[in-house]
Amino acid sequence: MAVVIEHLHKFKPLNQLPRCRLQSYSHFDHTMLDNFTHNNNITHNTSTSFHKSYSTPCLSLATKAKEEFETPNPRIEIISGHKAPMVHTLVAEVAIALASGVKPTPVSSGLGGAYYLKSRKGNTIAVVKPADEEPLAFNNPKGFVGRMLGQPGMKRSIRVGETGHRELAAYLLDHGGFSGVPPSALVKICHVTFNVNNMGLASNPPFKITSIQRYVEHETDAGDLGPSVFSVSSVHRIGILDIRVLNLDRHAGNMLVKNFHGNYVAGMAELVPIDHGFCLPESLDDPYFEWLHWPQASLPFSETETEYISNLDPFKDAELLRRELPLIRECSVRVFILCTIFLKRATAAGLCLADIGQMMTREFIGDEENWSILEHICVHAKANLDVEINSDGTDEVKEYDQMFVFDKDFIDSLNQNEVALKHQTTDKPTKMMKFTSNGEKSNLRDIRLTRLIQECDTKDGCGPSGIPILRSVSFAAHNNNHDAGVCVSFEEMKDEEWTLFLEYFEELLPQAFEEKKSTSLFKQRLGNSCEF
């Protein structure tokens, strides 16, 4: 059977059709997913994340999915991302490689299972990461097992088995390839050699749900070079993406340096961001930005970058995520909306990338981890929201208000801590002021808040091997210490409350930005030069 590419997708016809036994089908058989989840004790329903594939790189004459499932020939099908640019080209290349007998090559680095896929000529064309081989997943080939799909993973606000969806999300949100995220998709690969624990490299597992990304030719990564060789534009564009998606793991190893054949000129090397599985968390977790203290991050945005940021539409992008990746929970989408609004308003206020990143990052004072300025703003915005909801004087309390109680001492303790921090350090972001509303409402700061906090409870919520599971518990907050794994979440807000919350959030931003700018005046500004 030959590989056939539909011309309506603008693929160039092959000069010579290679012999291909690869099969595909256009309708996903949900009974297969049921068998998969039953056999592996998966605890939550993932069927909503699978879609009909309207176009596949390889077409089969078979009419029954069951017949194709039982056929031991390798095949691949796009599950999500079929509308993303350059995805079909990537999957078609992979399909031809698999049909030619090419086997995935395991990647030795990293904590999760990952594989290189090569063309018949030996060139690496893609990186594949199966969902059930992620760190802590049941088929992880490197010994990091113990949890089931859907449970909290290496990052408490990102669940096991869902990093592949976030890889695709980063690509979908990188409009026009502005930040250089490689083409990505979520696919199903059948009868191809992958790891199955207790069996080693299984010769032909029925299928694996995996993310797939275009392999980027590179000479090294950012960890092997000093930041002075990187271009300002490259650092800014990666930083803009990281702010939008609240990347929890932007380290030097996942910024690749394009091939310069050893000839690195200061300020000219271009970076390519990869590995976005730890973005779009379900709560305002603590991000990690490797570029935060690089000199490029302290330079102002260019006109092109400023225009790109101003044209971002967080609500339109949120609809894109809901439509293409329904498995990503609404609380993650709301975190994305919040961070994009924060980026847009901060840029309009004249803040640089470093200023914005610092306001989103938590501080360590001694052994304590303290809330970021962004988290402080959210807490105060939520307090204002509850003042508005309860300003009619009624004593009605919603059911979810019983879950968490912040008393008046909590808000006072935040302000006391902020004053203390100002005296302890001068090179860290200034903490937020009280953000009081009008006079007659100031005595309502002890009104109960909705569930804004999640905590990792190790007493009565443990997964296999005694690994604690993230769950919501009652928490009376009297400080802003994060030793217990506390995060700000928006999961329980109703749509009307979320809309009103965003209004209060935006009202608090100008004053926060002014304070940030006032604390940054003493820093040396490097101007627009790209020489360091």
Q: What is the pLDDT of residues 424-460, one digit of tens each?
A: 433 433 333 333 333 333 333 333 333 333 333 333 3
Helix/strand/coil for 258: strand
> What number of other Cβ atoms are within 10 A of residue 130's Cβ?
27
At residue 72 the predicted structure's pLDDT band, cuts being 50, 70 and 90, is confident
At residue 15 the predicted structure's pLDDT band, cuts being 50, 70 and 90, is very low
Q: For 465-479, what is the mean pLDDT?
A: 34
pLDDT of 357 above 60: yes
Q: For 486-515, what is the mean pLDDT?
A: 92
User: What is the per-residue pLDDT for 66?
Assistant: 56
Determine the distance from the C-alpha atom of residue 66 to the mean position of all C-alpha atoms in its chain, rounded to a whole number: 35
pLDDT of 478 above 60: no
User: What is the per-residue pLDDT for 523?
Assistant: 54
Encode pLDDT of 140-158 as tens digits.
999 999 899 999 999 989 9
> Which residues, including other chains, have CB under 8 Å from residue 205's CB and lie 6 or more apart?
191, 192, 194, 196
Tell me if 246 sits within 8 A of 281, measured CB to CB: yes
Dihedral Cα 347, 353, 357, 360, nearest 10 deg: 0
47 φ/ψ angles, rounded to the nearest 5 degrees: -65, -25
**Percent share of the chain, pLDDT over 90:** 52
Helix H or strand E segment including 30: helix 30-39
Q: For 350-377, what is the mean pLDDT?
A: 92
At residue 54 the predicted structure's pLDDT band, cuts being 50, 70 and 90, is very low
Helix/strand/coil for 144: coil
**Structure tokens that stand for 328 in this block:** 């990503």
> Which residues, including other chains, have CB under 8 Å from residue 131's CB and lie 6 or more apart?
137, 149, 161, 162, 163, 164, 208, 209, 210, 211
Q: Phi-psi category of 78—alpha, beta or left, where left has phi over 0 and alpha has psi -120 to 50?
A: beta
At residue 85 the predicted structure's pLDDT band, cuts being 50, 70 and 90, is confident
Determine the distance from the C-alpha atom of residue 531 to the mean position of all C-alpha atoms in its chain, rounded to a whole number: 32
**177, 234, 294, 304 from 308: Cα distances, Å:** 12, 14, 22, 6
Q: What is the mean pLDDT of the chain?
A: 75
Q: For 378-391, what is the mean pLDDT?
A: 87
Candidate from 79-83, 96-100, 470-474 with smallest mean pLDDT: 470-474
> What number of other Cβ atoms are within 10 A of residue 278's Cβ?
24
> Which residues, including other chains, have CB under 8 Å from residue 288's CB and lie 6 or more apart?
247, 248, 249, 250, 251, 361
User: What is the per-residue pLDDT for 485?
Assistant: 54
pLDDT of 165 above 70: yes
**Structure tokens that stand for 471 in this block:** 């769950």
At residue 25 the predicted structure's pLDDT band, cuts being 50, 70 and 90, is very low
Helix H or strand E segment including 80: strand 75-80
In 221-370, alpha helices (H): 232-245, 303-310, 314-324, 330-348, 353-360
What residue has token string 């993230």?
470
> What number of other Cβ atoms are within 10 A of residue 380's Cβ?
24
Picking from 87, 323, 278, 115, the residue whose alpha carbon sits closest to that of residue 185 is 87
At residue 404 the predicted structure's pLDDT band, cuts being 50, 70 and 90, is very low
First to last CA, the chain: 58
What does the alpha-carbon distance between residue 54 and residue 438 come to, in Å, rounded to a whole number?
55
Q: For 497-509, what is the mean pLDDT?
A: 96
pLDDT of 411 above 50: no
User: What is the per-residue pLDDT for 203?
Assistant: 62
What does the alpha-carbon distance between residue 239 and residue 250 come to, in Å, rounded to a whole number?
9
At residue 262 the predicted structure's pLDDT band, cuts being 50, 70 and 90, is low
**Structure tokens that stand for 252 in this block:** 């030097």
What does the alpha-carbon distance between residue 214 and residue 124 come to, in Å, rounded to a whole number?
9
**Percent share of the chain, pLDDT over 70:** 64
**Structure tokens that stand for 267 in this block:** 């300020």
Q: For 327-339, what is the mean pLDDT?
A: 96
pLDDT of 126 above 90: yes
- Strands (E) located in 331-451: 363-365, 368-370
pLDDT of 346 above 50: yes
Q: For 486-500, what is the mean pLDDT?
A: 89
501 φ/ψ angles, rounded to the nearest 5 degrees: -60, -45
**263, 290, 291, 302 from 251: Cα distances, Å:** 23, 5, 8, 24
pLDDT of 467 above 60: no
> Which residues, including other chains, have CB under 8 Å from residue 15's CB and lie 6 or more apart?
none
Best mean pLDDT range from 163-177, 216-230, 262-276, 387-401: 163-177
Cα Rg of the chain, angstroms: 25
Tell me if 149 sits within 8 A of 46, measured CB to CB: yes
What does the alpha-carbon distance between residue 127 and residue 117 come to, in Å, rounded to a whole number?
6
**Structure tokens that stand for 310 in this block:** 């101003």
Encode pLDDT of 189-199 as tens digits.
998 989 999 87
Encode pLDDT of 275-327 as tens digits.
999 999 999 999 999 999 999 999 999 999 999 999 999 999 999 999 999 99
What does the alpha-carbon distance between residue 190 and residue 84 come to, in Å, rounded to a whole number?
22
Tell me if 33 sits within 8 A of 25, measured CB to CB: no
pLDDT of 334 above 70: yes
What does the alpha-carbon distance between residue 83 and residue 153 come to, in Å, rounded to a whole number?
29
Tell me if 121 sits within 8 A of 97, measured CB to CB: no
User: What is the per-residue pLDDT for 65?
Assistant: 52
